Amino acid sequence: MMKWLCLLFSMLLAVPLAAAELKPLPMRPAPVLKLPGLDGVDMDLSQLRGKVVLVNFWAVWCPPCRKEMPSMARLMTRLADKPFSILGVNEGESPEEIRAFLKQVPVNFSILPDSEGEHLKPWQVFAFPTSYVIDKQGRLRLGLFGSIEWDSPEAIAQLEKLLAETE
C-alpha cells in the first residue's frame, strides 16, 4: 500500500519535482539513522560527525529516484577529497531488488536497506525521493522533497558552503 501511495504522490507531483531545490531548514539534530548497509557493514549516522552528509531516501520503483542516482554518484566522485558522504536509504525493498537496480545504475556510496520503513516517520519522509543534508555537527541544514541534479553548480555551491564551515 505504501509503495502505491508514494508512487501516486510522486506522479501527481512530477511537474513541481522538476523545479525542486535544496531549501534551508531550521537547525536541529538529525534523527537517528542506524542500519546495516547493503555491503554488510553497519552504518550509524552519528559515526560520520565531522563530515557533511547527504541522506537520500529512495526506492527502486520511483522514477525521480532512479533519475537522480547517477548525479549523486558524480557528486560523490567530485567531493571525494572532502569530508563528505552520501547515504542512500532504500525504503521497503529487498536486497535482491536493490542489487538488481544497482547493476544497471552503479553507485559509489553506501546503500542502506530500510525494508520495514522504520526511518520514514522520524525523518518526516512522505514522498520519494526525500533528501537531507547534515552538517559536520550532525544537524539538519538543507532539505529537498523531489529530485535534482546533485552535481549541478547550484547544489555543489550549497554543499561547499557547509563543507567550508569550521566545527
Please provide the DSSP assignment of 113-164 as one string: EETT-TTTTTTT--SSSEEEEE-TTSEEEEEEES---TTSHHHHHHHHHHHH
What is residue 4's predicted lDDT score, i.e. its pLDDT?
A: 43
Q: Are 27 and 141 in contact (CB under 8 A)?
A: yes
What is residue 167's predicted lDDT score, i.e. its pLDDT?
A: 67
What is residue 3's predicted lDDT score, i.e. its pLDDT?
A: 52
**Residues β-bridged to residue 131:** 56, 144
What is residue 19's predicted lDDT score, i.e. its pLDDT?
A: 47
What is residue 107's predicted lDDT score, i.e. its pLDDT?
A: 97
What is residue 111's predicted lDDT score, i.e. its pLDDT?
A: 98
What is residue 1's predicted lDDT score, i.e. its pLDDT?
A: 43
pLDDT, mean of each 10-residue run, the chain (167 residues): 45 44 95 95 96 98 96 98 98 96 97 94 95 98 96 96 91
What is residue 12's predicted lDDT score, i.e. its pLDDT?
A: 41
User: What is d(CA 80, CA 52) in angstroms, rounded to the nearest whole number?
Assistant: 12
Residue 109 grid cell: 556510496
